[in-house]
Amino acid sequence: MTLIMGVLNVTPDSFSDGGRWEHPDDAIAHAVAMAEAGAAIVDVGGESTRPGAVPVDSPQERKRVMPIVRELVARGISVSIDTLHAQTALAAVDAGAQLINDVSGGLGDRDMARVVAETGVHYVAMHWRGGADVAAGYRDVVADVREELKARVAELVVAGVQPERVILDPGLGFAKDPEHNWQLLGRLDELASLGHGILIGASRKRFVGALLPEDAPMTDRDAPTAVISALAARSGAWAVRVHDVPSTRLALDVWERWEAGAAIPVAGA
């Protein structure tokens, strides 16, 4: 069963929901709504990765995210912390976060691997060569991402991280053009063959928006995102990271019924 990770950006400048959840009461209410709609985990982030976003240091990031993390944990909601900073990750785990989601796969902060090893929590290592504004050259994007993620895992294991705690993410849109993203999705099984859970973060990204008319509102991206969620589930993804939980829940329900339908034995056969 593929899990849903609901996105909660408590930032002034994230690309699709920047500023919307800056007030703690709004952020908590949105997280509760996502959990009720079927999010197994809420991913709290305090630093935008969009091109041109202002970098945030760990103390400022902690100021943004920690009150939210504490409140969600108190309400029994599973929390993941979306951060590049080892000190933010550590503070969130100490407060009860169950997963560290690191878009740099440990490259952003050399202390991250140690924090993951010492805390023993699950860790999402995303493929990272840079943000959406970086034009990276790939020989074969799927093979290159696979090799680079494999190298990240090897380094994490040397630092003492248990391999079964590591979830991998191809990092859609991060130094990848639309064609790269579709190749990574279409050949997800090649990444899955590394033997780790796979997280897919396609939600509302530019390559999804490119399927729609140019002036389409951001929320129109939720339907194609939900289709990607179902197809990712079909490819065995461990989780999908999305902004709109109800539409992805519905898409995953369809996939689960579809799969259950295939498993019903034919009478008399």
Please tell me which residue in 205, 234, 249, 257 is annotated as part of the active site. 205
| Interacting span for ligand PMM (CB under 6 A) from 33-41, 45-53, 85-93, 260-268 | 45-53
d(CA 145, CA 202): 16
Q: For residue 228, give the 3-state DSSP assignment.
A: helix
Count of beta carbons in the 10 Å neighbourhood of residue 14: 22
7 is a site residue for ligand PMM (CB under 6 A):
yes
Q: Which of 181, 175, 103 is nearest to 135 (CA)?
A: 175
Q: Which is nearer to ligand PMM, 238 or 269 (CB)?
A: 238
Q: Is 63 a catalytic residue?
A: no
Six-digit token pair at 244?
């709109």
16 is a site residue for ligand PMM (CB under 6 A):
yes
d(CA 203, CA 174): 13
Count of beta carbons in the 10 Å neighbourhood of residue 1: 10
Whether 22 and 80 have beta carbons less than 8 Å apart is answered as: no
101 is a site residue for ligand PMM (CB under 6 A):
yes
Six-digit token pair at 95?
């407060």
Whether 122 and 41 have beta carbons less than 8 Å apart is answered as: no
CB of 259 to ligand PMM, least distance (A): 25
The amino acid at residue 268 is G
| Interacting span for ligand PMM (CB under 6 A) from 8-16, 158-166, 218-226, 258-266 | 8-16
Q: Is 50 a catalytic residue?
A: no
CB of 3 to ligand PMM, least distance (A): 13
126 is a site residue for ligand PMM (CB under 6 A):
yes
CB of 140 to ligand PMM, least distance (A): 20
CB of 117 to ligand PMM, least distance (A): 19
Q: Which is nearer to ligand PMM, 26 or 259 (CB)?
A: 26
Count of beta carbons in the 10 Å neighbourhood of residue 188: 20
d(CA 196, CA 56): 30
The dihedrals phi and psi of 99, each to the nearest 5 degrees, come to -150, 140
Total residues at interface with ligand PMM (CB under 6 A)? 19
9 is a site residue for ligand PMM (CB under 6 A):
yes
Q: How large is the C-alpha radius of gyration of the chain?
A: 18
Residue ranges in 167-206 that form contacts with ligand PMM under rule CB under 6 A: 169, 171-172, 199, 201
Q: Which x/- pattern over 239-258 shows residues binding ligand PMM (rule: CB under 6 A)?
A: --x-----------------
Known catalytic residues are 205, 241
Contact residues toward ligand PMM (CB under 6 A) are 7, 9, 14-16, 45, 48-49, 82, 101, 103, 124, 126, 169, 171-172, 199, 201, 241
